[in-house]
Structure 1
Amino acid sequence: MMEWFGDDAYWLSRLVFQRALAAVYLVAFLTAALQFRALIGERGMLPVPDFLRRVPAKDSPSIFRLHYSDRFFALVAWTGCLLSAALVAGAADRLPLVVAMAWWAVLWLLYLSIVNVGQTWYGFGWETLLLEAGFLAVFLGNEHIQPPVLVLWLLRWLLFRVEFGAGLIKIRGDLCWRNLTCLYFHHETQPMPGPLSWYFHHLPKAAHRVEAAANHVVQLGVPFLLFAPQPVASVAAGLVVATQLWLVLSGNFSWLNWLTIVLALSAVDGSLVAGGHALPGAPLWFEIVVLAVTALLLVLSYRPARNLLSKRQAMNRSYDSLHLVNSYGAFGTVGRVRLELVVEGTDERTLKEGTVWREYEFKGKPGDVRRLPRQFAPYHLRLDWLMWFAALSPAYARSWFLPFVERLLEGDRDTLRLLHRNPFPDRPPAHVRARLYRYRFTTGRERRDTGAWWHRTFVREFLAPTRLS
């Protein structure tokens, strides 16, 4: 039965949403715990202590303002993993309401603290999306009360901005989205192809046009149906889920697709599959808190809503340092050519025409042409993603690429752990260089003849041979 504040019909949707969101949190904290030392640690490429000295606290609030050390960061990240895992197991439903809310709030605060010192390594839309969804989860309650309708509508508003924002940025951006040809290229040129991307790329062009048209329908039309009565809203959410699963199969987009699926599940009427589940109404103090938070978020929604209507729509922008209400979007422009940086080293002290160079192999980004792209999402390979951006323009690599090369020359263990293969296991190389190649998927015949998934052609030198001074 639906009351003015809570709705029993969404008890299952809330349960699934909260536990699935906790699973995404778990992946995010695990990613931070395993990669931070090389990226932002005290000896990392972009050290947190240096960042904290440069940036005012109001622009980047974080518990690391109180203290930073690699040991403390590791404690925060692994604590986030433990708290997330407990929520996946349903711990919040066994606790008093106020304790469960505090638990979700601590999780949000810990991840906010990481994102706000993560610098370019954390400059992705799915970081702010996780924070915005995580903040709303604080006010969803638990099994002790009915799911609050206002928060459920705020989750739909968030999903609307994710999908509609992505649809608008495409229509306003690259012409190929309007003539339905973007997917002729996208499966090949996307940041990190997956194990099925080669096969998706070789679908008939007519299928690619259907893909693009279906994307426009789901991102530009279906989001409005999320606000329709049930079961229409549930059907709309199902279409979003189906589209996101297609994207999961075709590439590696960290936890973006999975988190979008989680948001869509919150719009499903759980009574359609599990019947009623009577729960008590919320206490007055909880209703007051939810009303206040809803009012705040609606006021903060002004700028993201205005951004959706703007001809100069921004993609993936935060409007406040707490990342409470943000703008989203993806692939307003699609590359026609795939460029990749190949990093090589040599142990020869004196360079000559016959110098032997050996390649470093990354975990996710293309390198060895015979290596099938792997599936890593929802896990996020931050270095691999930034290497894709660096190949697009050296400006994306200005702050971190030379420190990365320096650590290869030093044989830094934390940096080498981010790689799939280190060609210098015994001692560091004497020189390192980077070269830019054009990569394309092989044809079916090339694949049968050579066993290679990629064909590559040298373009130019990106970084001349470099050694430690």
Structure 2
Amino acid sequence: MDWLDADGYEIGRQILQRGVAAIYLIAFVSAINQFPALLGERGLLPAPRFIERVGKRAGPTLFRWRYSDRLLLTTCWIGAAIAALLIAGLPQAGPPWLPMVAFLMMWALYLSIVNIGQVFYGFGWESLLLEAGFLVAFLGSNDVDPPLLVLLAIRWLVFRLEFGAGTIKIRGDRSWRDLTALYYHHETQPMPNPASRFFHLLPKPLHRIEVAGNHFTQLVVPFFLFAPQPIAGIAAVIIIATQAWLVISGNFAWLNWITIVLTFGAVPDSFYEALFQVTIEPAYGRTPVWFTVVVVLMAAFIAYLSWQPLRNLFAKRQLMNASFNRFHLVNAYGAFGSVTKARYEVIIEGTIDDGAPGSRWREYEFKGKPGDPSRMPRQYAPYHLRLDWLMWFLALGSDGGWFSPLLVKLLRADPKILKLIRHDPFDGEPPRYIRARVFRYRFSTREEKRSTGLWWMREQSGTLVDPISLRSDHEHPAA
């Protein structure tokens, strides 16, 4: 069965295994830092209540029979430890079953978290990470050739990811079709980074070229991932370069990072040999029959699950970031099917005064989302600031039931919530009143930046929540 071995992809396998493990490590650390405050026993959307309400409909999870913050943290630390071992390459130095078990354990642990994560884990890159971890589990160890069927399954994942994102854009928003989407996107994306303002201020003709290049990369190039080498490798390099451009221009958690890692699976060793003038000759043993059988069964399973995602790619009502099974395998992907033309931010303020006119209101600063107009946007990706992302959706009109509990937590100066915020203007003491106002933000022009030093220009456009206090009759404000 030598034809099932993919000779010449050892570097790609190393990047896939260690890169996906690195993203898992970031995801587990993110859960350690944020899950208890957002979804823990006393969180904004407590996981125990969710599990009690939905039961088996939550999907496979270790927490179905019992949830506690301690058990959640134990799960995360175990997952992080396994990820660290895989990054170091220790399981890969053993027999093929060892990295397989390690990756499947990480996948199962993170699946348990995602399935009870509710809106805070409702992002497409959660399913992407789960699918990637499952597939990479079958790449084997350093003792055997990389399996061809696994590399093809990973290319199929990259194809769905890229082509799905391309088709959802063409179908979803006229600005993608008339090439004007980037007139707005860098300014209105969920979490700009330090370079986003620079990209936004580029000439509009260049923006149109960028959009056209994006369409070519997402709608044409993915088909060539299945072509013979070196064509497939060239297609992969184009996708990697495009994703790197997105990494530089915005904070999209680990979406672009893991896409880059997965696409390296289509880059052959011959590219590295030509680039670095080296010879790559790994010494493999004979692939065990049992491992080949497992890989073939996995490939058949993935092929069986691929029918619905394949239909979705060409459906008139294409689903974006949808899972068709409880295990988050062979999902539908896509991002920014529509582009918001104006940026609105919800600004939360508190006061220790009586809330009447003349009270001094002080602003809570979040870590990633825009707030203080003079503050330069920060780089956080591939780390995922979940509360900041949900604040962006809140400004678009999506609550999800977590915002009112957030205001109550701030009124109580909840220490776990305050750890998720960059600046608490009351130094851990509870404010007397709190309110939420809506502002329209835009990047400052070059002239405005020189004269004021501000990164953002903003003006108030409305009030989301009038002043409330726990001392009033409105214990639970309606957002």
Aligned residue in 2 for 1:203: 202
Matches within 5 A, 1:21-420: 21-274=20-273, 275-348=280-353, 350-393=354-397, 396-420=398-422
Cα deviation code 1:422-444 (max 9, x no counterpart): 00115200111101110000111
Q: Distance in 1 between matches of 2:468 and 2:112?
A: 35
Distance apart, 1:43 and its partner CA: 0.4
Cα deviation code 1:252-283 (max 9, x no counterpart): 00000000001110111123324332412321
Q: Is the 8 A contact 1:61 1:116 kept in 2?
A: yes
Count of aligned pairs between the two proteins = 465
* 2:399 counterpart letter in structure 1: A
Q: Distance in 1 between matches of 2:366 and 2:443?
A: 18
Aligned residue in 2 for 1:13: 12
Aligned residue in 2 for 1:429: 431
* 1:323 counterpart letter in structure 2: H
Q: Is the 8 A contact 2:413 2:428 kept in 1?
A: no
SS in 2 for 1:461: strand
With 9-18 and 270-279 compared, the bigger mean Cα shift is at 270-279
Q: Distance in 1 between matches of 2:233 and 2:395?
A: 41
Q: Distance in 1 between matches of 2:314 and 2:93?
A: 44
Q: Distance in 2 between matches of 1:364 and 1:28?
A: 17
User: In structure 2, do the counterparts of structure 1 residues 398 and 122 end up closer, same or farther at CA, with 3 Å as the change threshold?
Assistant: closer
Q: TM-score, normalised by structure 2?
A: 0.95
Distance apart, 1:449 and its partner CA: 0.6
Q: Distance in 2 between matches of 1:180 and 1:96?
A: 51
Distance apart, 1:410 and its partner CA: 0.7
Cα deviation code 1:382-435 (max 9, x no counterpart): 000000000000xx2141000000100111000000000000115200111101
Aligned residue in 1 for 2:460: 458
Distance apart, 1:162 and its partner CA: 0.3
Q: Is the 8 A contact 1:8 1:277 kept in 2?
A: no
* 1:105 counterpart letter in structure 2: L
Q: Distance in 2 between matches of 1:376 and 1:159?
A: 24
Structure 1 spans left out of the alignment, 5+ residues: none
SS in 2 for 1:4: helix
* 1:143 counterpart letter in structure 2: N
* 2:127 counterpart letter in structure 1: T
Q: Is the 8 A contact 1:6 1:281 kept in 2?
A: no
Aligned residue in 1 for 2:277: none
Q: Is the 8 A contact 1:57 1:65 kept in 2?
A: yes
* 1:92 counterpart letter in structure 2: P
Distance apart, 1:231 and its partner CA: 0.7
Cα deviation code 1:287-310 (max 9, x no counterpart): 111111111111111110000010
Q: Is the 8 A contact 2:8 2:270 kept in 1?
A: yes
Q: Distance in 2 between matches of 1:373 and 1:21?
A: 27
SS in 1 for 2:347: strand
Distance apart, 1:96 and its partner CA: 2.3
Q: Distance in 2 between matches of 1:213 and 1:175?
A: 13
CA RMSD of aligned residues (A): 1.1
Q: Distance in 2 between matches of 1:58 and 1:354?
A: 51
* 1:342 counterpart letter in structure 2: I
SS in 1 for 2:2: coil
State the identity %.
53
Distance apart, 1:464 and its partner CA: 1.3
Matched, 1:442 2:444: yes
* 2:197 counterpart letter in structure 1: W
Distance apart, 1:57 and its partner CA: 1.8
With 275-284 and 154-163 compared, the bigger mean Cα shift is at 275-284
Cα deviation code 1:234-263 (max 9, x no counterpart): 111000110001000100000000000011
Distance apart, 1:58 and its partner CA: 4.7
SS in 1 for 2:143: coil
Q: Distance in 1 between matches of 2:116 and 2:58?
A: 10
Q: Is the 8 A contact 1:253 1:377 kept in 2?
A: yes
SS in 1 for 2:440: strand
Q: Is the 8 A contact 1:163 1:223 kept in 2?
A: yes
Q: Distance in 2 between matches of 1:84 and 1:397?
A: 33
User: In structure 2, do the counterparts of structure 1 residues 403 and 97 end up closer, same or farther at CA, with 3 Å as the change threshold?
Assistant: same
User: In structure 2, do the counterparts of structure 1 residues 41 and 151 end up closer, same or farther at CA, with 3 Å as the change threshold?
Assistant: same
SS in 2 for 1:85: helix
Structure 2 spans left out of the alignment, 5+ residues: 274-279
SS in 1 for 2:8: helix
Distance apart, 1:354 and its partner CA: 0.4
Q: Distance in 1 between matches of 2:215 and 2:95?
A: 44
Q: Distance in 1 between matches of 2:249 and 2:445?
A: 18
Distance apart, 1:8 and its partner CA: 2.1
SS in 2 for 1:339: strand
SS in 2 for 1:7: coil
Q: Is the 8 A contact 1:104 1:138 kept in 2?
A: yes
Q: Distance in 2 between matches of 1:108 and 1:317?
A: 18
* 1:327 counterpart letter in structure 2: A
Cα deviation code 1:302-356 (max 9, x no counterpart): 11000001011010000111001100001110011000000000112x2221011
Cα deviation code 1:191-217 (max 9, x no counterpart): 000001011000000110111010001
Q: Distance in 2 between matches of 1:186 and 1:462?
A: 24
Cα deviation code 1:101-148 (max 9, x no counterpart): 111111111111111111100000000000001000111111111111
Q: Is the 8 A contact 1:439 1:456 kept in 2?
A: yes
